[in-house]
Amino acid sequence: MTLSSLRQQLLAGQTTSAAILSGLAGEIAARDGRTGAYLSHDLESAMAEAENVDLSLPLGGIPIAIKDNINVLGQPCTCGSRFLAENYRSPYDATVIRKLRAAGAIPFGRMNLDEFAMGSSTENSALQTTRNPHDPERIPGGSSGGPAAAVADFTAIAALGSDTGGSIRQPASHCGVVGLKPSYGRVSRYGLVAFASSLDQVGPLTRSVEDAARILQVIAGLDPLDSTSLEAPVPDYLSGLNDGVKGLRLGLPKEYFGEGIAPGVRRQVEAAVQALAAQGAEVVDISLPHTEYAVATYYVIAPAEASSNLSRFDGIRYGQRAANPADIPDLYKRSREIGFGPEVKRRIILGTYVLSSGYYDAYYSRAQKVRSLIRRDFEAAFTRVDAILSPVAPSPARKLGGASIDPLDEYLSDIFTLAPNLAGICAISVPCGVSAFDGAAALPVGLQILAPHLGEAMLLRIARAAESHE
């Protein structure tokens, strides 16, 4: 059931929060061994919270699964890494967790992810591999593969993930659920373990657009603990959700519909576009000319910020520590060598290189200038259209194992999701059908909808109309 329908049952006295938790625990025991979405779950503490739940609150009694890079007081926060897996327990609640609790929700379950959210398949987790519930021989996407797989597999009602370059939207597309990346600054990042601080954003993965709107309503808003969160009014995201798309102008960027898209993805996305047009939207051809530079720009800026953020993992303050070091430099070196996996090391090395003396101007400084051009492309487009439509990914979920063969191919799979993070705008993935791909008969496909910065109300309204088509 959706979050919204369970809320109706709770309010009608047809179920209880404890019963929902017991049901989820049973589903996890029966199904998660196949999917591997959960790293851990604490039923006892969740049941204790359920005893005192206030059903009058917006999310009263609803368990929400949490990606394991968001801090929950007293719970593990492994980030999918050996560095934090053994002995770290969070000493505080992230702001989004505090807001969920204040709205009556119960954080339940720690969800698998690519290590430190660096990856697009959840194969880069150091702890376990998560599989796509539609086909266990395929990836669920990443880095929020655990949350997306659990919501799709009915072992979670809804979840929180993080999105740095597509890490909510791409797994939502691959698993056939809704995934929302809010605008940069709309949701506090305090308590989210930082990957790339100018790109990261927390958002929901759900089974319906209405559920995503309900969660965003709770977690959005200014947070004094996060200097990047914005002092901007939070609209009522539910009030205009069913207003439809009649009279809206929706842009199709030619750069997002070129070569390299699987035929089935193109067909399903084009069918979703036609359905929105049939509901009264005007479809307009547009151009985002600097799209071709998005992947290169992202893979300079994000690793640069990651190399700085991950310097705190040094074997001194918390986490993995090498035994019997010869001296302090040896402690740093060996702790990081055994604590970090190959993809994290790759990105730290790349980020340190582009920030180093003699290369900063050639790479990092230039990438920031191109980022400005990408943002201006979107600003210009949004003077002509209300929102932009595109695929989420060039293909449905690939088979497990590809990332270890060619990491560059993995990076290129995010080509349609990186630019919205670079521009700071909001974006959502909505299921728009299924497609045959690489030997599989029916794999989910997502429609990506992009709206201007702080344009979540419009984004959700269009997503709801697209959802009604699917």
Is there a catalytic annotation at residue 143?
A: yes
Parallel, antiparallel, or unpaired: how do β-strands 178-181 and 426-437 relate?
antiparallel
Helix, coil or strand: residue 145: helix
Cα separation of 81 and 70, whole Å? 13
Cα separation of 429 and 60, whole Å? 26
Contact yes or no for 320/339 (Cβ under 8 A): yes
Closest CA to 47 of 69, 77, 30, 25: 25
Angle between helices 209-219 and 3-11 (to 10 degrees): 80
C-alpha distance from residue 302 to each of 195, 231, 295, 310, 379 (Å):
8, 25, 10, 12, 22
Is there a catalytic annotation at residue 167?
A: yes
Is there a catalytic annotation at residue 333?
A: no
Displacement of CA 395 from its chain's centroid (Å): 18
Cα separation of 66 and 192, whole Å? 11
Contact yes or no for 105/98 (Cβ under 8 A): no
Considering the candidates 17, 144, 167, 188, report the single residue annotated as catalytic. Answer: 167
Cα separation of 109 and 301, whole Å? 31
166: which 2 tokens? 């597509």
Considering the candidates 120, 125, 143, 413, report the single residue annotated as catalytic. Answer: 143
Contact yes or no for 164/181 (Cβ under 8 A): no
The residues that are catalytic are 67, 143, 167
